[in-house]
Structure 1
């Protein structure tokens, strides 16, 4: 019994906006899937979901709570006893939702958390999944090239992002078709943006778009990707408006060195922790700890962040088929942020960098 919208998309190809109205996917013994949705989502689910049955309820909270209706459905199937695997013990508190947990509405069942096993399954990509991620990389690259092309002194962040994203998405749809685009919660086309990381604000790793105009001397941190068949990739670059200063060049070189260290450490059999440890050894050696804000990277697939994490606290072993972002960053108050992100694949013999946008400084100077 799954409530997480990304798990539901993974197992039933149903992308939706999670609201206070519970949605659940039941995977029965033998693999039959029942999608439990509010009435307003019934036609949506019947049209797009890969599920053998769609069951709906009138509304939340309703005269009978949706979780009680879900329990009645399970009892009718004779599945209200024994073991039930869940990602959450009930629908999570989304947009004001409240309600009883699974363990309360099905008191005769043994409720077990299965999220770690699902995360492990999702981390290992099939050839079909990898093909979609590679296509995402292609269109993320195209969107980023347009972003860099249209960025100029005096231009608005909002206008440049919108133009690059609109043109890249139109080109992608023309090339691969609307159906393969398959939106998910994060991306529904080809996207390139700055997310507010412009000038001094680029030193904020998760800044927000603010609509500022580009100025000479700005440090820029970008982001690009595309949603293809529900799958994502990640591309980020550090760029400069005009000739970078000696200080900007120094921190750019450190950032590039950090990413190269991470690339060398990524191989099957290594732990996620060992990659972060290798990167932070350089940071300690060079006295850069004051500018370090986050771990080296994370898994990618249908979610923009997912397990495993390239963090010294994650002991999981890297295995062939894993796709991860590699994005060690340095953030210098008053100067800017310095972060490249590339999407990589763990292979039988090492790793493959799937993104192919230029990484070197000379290719990332605008004007």
Structure 2
């Protein structure tokens, strides 16, 4: 898969890549946790061990060298000769860095986010995988709607959804699915429990699939029977916040401003203190990756980014609502990749 080329900092000529997602991005190798990569424009190389002597060359878009890291990292020396080398300071443990520097005689300069910045804008091939994962999630949600009823355990819904996705082509679940009903809906990361769903409760379902190594991410909140009063009001507030953010999203918009657009809607309704997380994040080889849509972000949206927008309100001991869309930033705005109905729904 052709990738977007990272831009090295001015102080380095080569980058030692150890973060598995970045190794996979630059090489296509599907067992990146057992490999490292030396990124040098025009002569990048993947290093892995003898277990992958057949697999790695078949998958990798860059030359492969089979090595034995248990005997040290001296094999890197010839490839680093005359180069100023950098390393991924956010991911490489100090002890491992010290060993690499000792074995190679090279002092590595710290870098941050070099490959991650390249990964923010997806290639057409990457988008095909994300879109396929999102399509599976939509189909899985439609299947699940027919199973949500009073008396069903949250964990049984989560398991059924994961089985359905796997049976229909997902490599795995994108993360531990959240199924949070009634008072548990106040838990933003309320992973499915043995609680049985009751009539008159809201149920928040946050889930996704993985296809070709790429993730999807979607959240829907549905009512089990008739739900009224404050829970119905907070649902509408969250939906209004999401609609405002979707309308405001466009290339060049600051991620922090997009977060503020949704937050202002919720604050105006009097629930500002109950929106306890950021508006969203990028999605790709990781379920949470750049860009990050929070109040501190200095990133701007670019065409080709895949992002989530997921405002929420969480009332302790009472319940909560989150609605999340997965979307592609285009030249003119957003293209939704998740298509399940997001409005009020009673089952």
TM-score, normalised via structure 2 length: 0.86
Q: Offset of 1:214 from its aligned partner? A: 1.6
Q: Deviations 1:177-223 (Å, cap 9, x if unpaired)?
A: xxxx6xxxxxx246797525222112111123322222222221112
**Is 98-107 or 218-227 further displaced after alignment?**
98-107
SS in 2 for 1:220: strand
Aligned to 1:365: 346
State whether residues 3 and 90 of structure 1, in contact with CA within 8 Å, keep that contact through their aligned partners in structure 2.
yes
Aligned to 2:11: none
Please point out which of 98, 103, 109 is paired with 1:111: 109
Please point out which of 52, 55, 67 is paired with 2:63: 52
Q: Offset of 1:36 from its aligned partner? A: 3.2
Please point out which of 203, 207, 216 is paired with 2:199: 216
Matches of 1:6 and 1:191, distance apart in 2? 14
SS in 2 for 1:197: strand
**Number of residue pairs matched?**
332
Please point out which of 25, 36, 43 is paired with 2:37: 25
State whether residues 269 and 318 of structure 1, in contact with CA within 8 Å, keep that contact through their aligned partners in structure 2.
yes
Matches of 1:99 and 1:25, distance apart in 2? 14
Query: Are the structure 2 counterparts of residues 202 and 81 from structure 1 closer, same or farther at C-alpha, using a change threshold of 3 Å?
Result: farther
Aligned to 2:76: 74
Q: Deviations 1:297-334 (Å, cap 9, x if unpaired)?
A: 01111110011111121121111111100001110112
Aligned to 1:166: 163
Is 1:2 matched up with 2:22?
A: no
Counterparts of 1:127-138 in structure 2 under 5 Å?
127-138=124-135
Aligned to 2:303: 320
SS in 2 for 1:236: strand
Matches of 1:47 and 1:211, distance apart in 2? 44
SS in 2 for 1:282: helix
**Is 5-14 or 339-348 further displaced after alignment?**
5-14
State whether residues 291 and 331 of structure 1, in contact with CA within 8 Å, keep that contact through their aligned partners in structure 2.
yes
Counterparts of 1:81-120 in structure 2 under 5 Å?
81-88=82-89, 91-92=92-93, 100=98, 102-103=100-101, 105-113=103-111, 115-120=112-117
Matches of 2:216 and 2:91, distance apart in 1? 31
Aligned to 1:12: 27
SS in 2 for 1:82: coil
Query: Are the structure 2 counterparts of residues 78 and 141 from structure 1 closer, same or farther at C-alpha, using a change threshold of 3 Å?
Result: closer
Counterparts of 1:241-256 in structure 2 under 5 Å?
241-256=224-239
Matches of 1:88 and 1:42, distance apart in 2? 29
State whether residues 202 and 220 of structure 1, in contact with CA within 8 Å, keep that contact through their aligned partners in structure 2.
yes
**Is 251-260 or 284-293 further displaced after alignment?**
284-293
SS in 2 for 1:237: strand
Please point out which of 258, 270, 274 is paired with 1:275: 258
**Is 49-58 or 286-295 further displaced after alignment?**
49-58
Matches of 2:102 and 2:19, distance apart in 1? 19
Aligned to 1:206: 189
Q: Which runs of 5 or more structure 2 residues have no equivalent in the other structure?
A: 1-15
Is 1:291 matched up with 2:302?
A: no
**Is 253-262 or 270-279 further displaced after alignment?**
270-279
Once superposed, what is the RMSD of the aligned Cα atoms? 2.6
Query: Are the structure 2 counterparts of residues 36 and 89 from structure 1 closer, same or farther at C-alpha, using a change threshold of 3 Å?
Result: farther
Matches of 1:301 and 1:99, distance apart in 2? 27
Query: Are the structure 2 counterparts of residues 128 and 164 from structure 1 closer, same or farther at C-alpha, using a change threshold of 3 Å?
Result: same
State whether residues 67 and 75 of structure 2, in contact with CA within 8 Å, keep that contact through their aligned partners in structure 1.
no
State whether residues 57 and 63 of structure 2, in contact with CA within 8 Å, keep that contact through their aligned partners in structure 1.
no
